[in-house]
Structure 1
């Protein structure tokens, strides 16, 4: 790993510790010897799932996102629980948010969502061989979602209409478009 321009942490002050995130301010020594401050959001990591039905539809959820003060359509996602492997989280979140289970789940990519201020690492999976489960695990008690099953063309249209506005879902649509183009 290349640590070009590494910043040495001198002091860390915890500002907030919540259910999902922790916020801290670090005093750092910059590569030129000067001092700086960094506001950092610590996150346990998350998964996102691109569920594809046997009919080729993408299963998505519409939900209200308070930071945006609006609803958007997204692929299912959720945070890692302590000690939980990303694939386990992906299978759990798929079932909780959509009621589907899958025969095959494939890891696609992992990336940092906002490395300028947060350490959240998002693991993206492709879920195939979906089957609706009769007694699916319930969603979180504070989570309200509406299921949508979209064709790739409909999903691309949602991007243009700004009904899809998050990077993980935009990535999913573009991944599937590239996959389709390679056939």
Structure 2
């Protein structure tokens, strides 16, 4: 059975929005794009807006779909979105087991961290490359 998720390449005040969180399974902090699983019959854009808001407090207006990919040997299917249309700022709405720190990073710095291997999240790398190839970052 497929598991659908979303990630958002979000720019706020010309900075890339990154979520830093401790991943118990990896025993380290990860640097990722905001996002998560789609709930029930939720529309992908609705899920992307919800996840961005819950994890960062940023409320997106318009979203641009960047693409969808599957993770090899996994049921996970990820759809990537882009926004620089932040229309409101609220408090994070984290799950009890989440401790997410929101970082605002220069886009070129983020590319450098991905290229050097310091930030290893595949979805972050794909999101940056797709946003760049579409002239968005």
- The TM-score normalised by the length of structure 1 is 0.68
Is 2:83 aligned against 1:127?
A: yes
Deviations, residues 84-140 of structure 1 (Å, cap 9, x unaligned)? 1111110000000110001211111111112xx322111111122114423x45111
Q: How does 1:20-169 map to 2 (within 5 A)?
A: 42-53=1-12, 55-114=13-72, 117-134=73-90, 136=91, 138-169=93-124
Contact persistence 1:112–1:119 (CA under 8 A): yes
Cα distance change on mapping 1:85 and 1:179 into 2, 3 Å: closer
5+ residue gaps in structure 2?
none
Conservation of the 8 A alpha-carbon contact between 2:4 and 2:37: yes
Q: Gapped runs of 5+ residues in structure 1?
A: 1-41
Instruction: Answer whether contact 2:56 2:92 (CA < 8 A) is retained.
Output: no
Question: For 1:81 and 1:157, how far apart are their aligned partners in 2?
Answer: 33
The aligned length equals 137
CA distance in 2: counterparts of 1:103 and 1:88, whole angstroms: 11
TM-score for the superposition, normalised by structure 2: 0.88
